[in-house]
Amino acid sequence: MFSTLSEDALAYHRLNGRPGKLAVIPTKPLETQRDLSLAYTPGVAAPVLEIARDPEAAYEYTNKGNLVAVISNGTAILGLGDRGALASKPVMEGKGVLFKKFADIDVYDIEVDTHDPDVLIKVVESIAPTFGGVNLEDIRSPECFRIEAELQEKADIPIFHDDQHGTAIILGAAMLNALELTRKSLTEVKIVFSGAGAAGVSCARHLVKLGVPRGNIWMCDIEGLVYQGRSSFMFPEKAEFANGDAPATLGETFEGADVFIGVSAANIVTPEMLDRMCANPILFAMANPDPEIAYDLAKQTRPDAIVATGRSDTPNQINNVLGFPYIFRGALDVRARKINDEMKMAASLALAELAKLPVPRKVCQAYSVDHLEFGVDYIVPKALDPRVCLWEAPAVAEAAIESGVARKTLDVDNYRSQLAARFQSRE
């Protein structure tokens, strides 16, 4: 009898009698009395005094420079909604595993049991000195916008809400390549959004920074079109993308659209909606685990479309794992004070360019395919492509240096070589 995915997942998390997915492993020897004296008292007083004298010394004597906090209050867990802080822990541990696997970054997951944004802000602000960066995760909108913005002002390390920016960065890369393949222009396409929460707003903002006119974006939520003068289910960040002056359904906004971007719910887009789009449409149906329209149905309805989802079992997976590990890797390695727009844009551009390079056989084997080549079925790199770190982290680090938020400079070519050596030593 075959087990279900849920049964396999529960067994996986209990595997080997050691629940969970993360552990703490010492990085220094602790075998002798001398080792004990160095690791703890009395020897540990020396780095304590150095850090008290110069806080930047924490990067030299502690794990701060390679440590990220993954923090949630559990108010927007994946597609499951508000399930509480403790229930978010498997997801936060999962993010920690991905940080370590893909970018060799250590993580402490921290679940904060509060619905009060002020309490969450105060907690994160208070513990921020421990870390080189903070990844906020699964915090509901609209509170997430204020929480991130205030923490970015209060802390001198990167504060990054991945539900917002991670999706936006990968989408930006996919969009650039899809437009190139369809010979459409950033400044001329009509874009329809389904979803106006954290991911939707941030994706739209990132596209505007790439060059899409704000007036070309038609954003819909559960109430339909976000239009000028609408009063229900609105907040300031969503209102930035109000378009038109009258109500409309999601289906009506598809008329003459070039691009659909879904960050909402499963199976809400019909073939009839796709038929209203222009030739060679671009469909990014990214709801997880099931997209707004199934990949096969979208391709059957519009064979001329480029289709992407958030799933790993269809072509063109738009997944945050292509972003956050490497963005933080680059940010940590130059001791960045923040992750700014220049760094996000550098990440998008790096991913877009990497997708155009020949794909190593090892990557093809990991996905059980004979060949991968830039085209309608391959517009962003694969998540298991080891080149992503060597391509994206240096681009982010360089952007941090050039934009003035880095505490440390480095030679980008040497840095790329160091990263390659680092990951070869882990194999």
**221 neighbors 199 (Cβ within 8 angstroms):** no
Backbone angles phi, psi at 93, to 5 degrees: -60, -40
Is-contact 315 166, C-beta < 8 A?
Answer: no
For residue 237, give the 3-state DSSP assignment.
Answer: helix
Supply φ then ψ for residue 296, to 5 degrees: -60, -40
- Please name the helix (run of DSSP H) or strand (run of DSSP E) that holds residue 170, with its range, or none: helix 162-182
Q: Rounded to an integer, what distance in angstroms lies between the CA atom of residue 341 and that of residue 59?
A: 25
Helices and strands of the chain, counted as H and E runs: 18, 10
Name the active-site residue from 64, 89, 95, 184.
95
H or E segment at 106? strand 106-111
Q: 3-state class of 357 per DSSP? A: coil
Helix, strand, coil share (%) of the chain residues, nearest 5: 50, 10, 40
The Cα–Cα gap between 230 and 245 comes to 8
Neighbouring CB atoms inside 10 A of 422's CB total 13
Q: Please indicate whether residue 95 is annotated as part of the active site.
A: yes
CA dist 64 and 338 (Å) reads 15
| H or E segment and range at residue 341 | helix 341-354
Q: Is the peptide bond before 142 cis (omega within 30 degrees of 0)?
A: yes
Phi, psi of 207 (to 5 degrees): -65, -35
Please, are residues 266 and 290 in contact by the beta-carbon 8 Å criterion?
yes
As to burial, measured by CB atoms within 10 angstroms (0-12 exposed, 13-18 middle, 19+ buried), residue 251 is middle
Q: Residue 276: which residues within 8 A CB-CB, separation 6 or more?
A: 251, 254, 255, 256, 257
Contact between 124 and 151 under an 8 Å Cβ cutoff? The reply is yes
**Catalytic (active-site) positions:** 40, 95
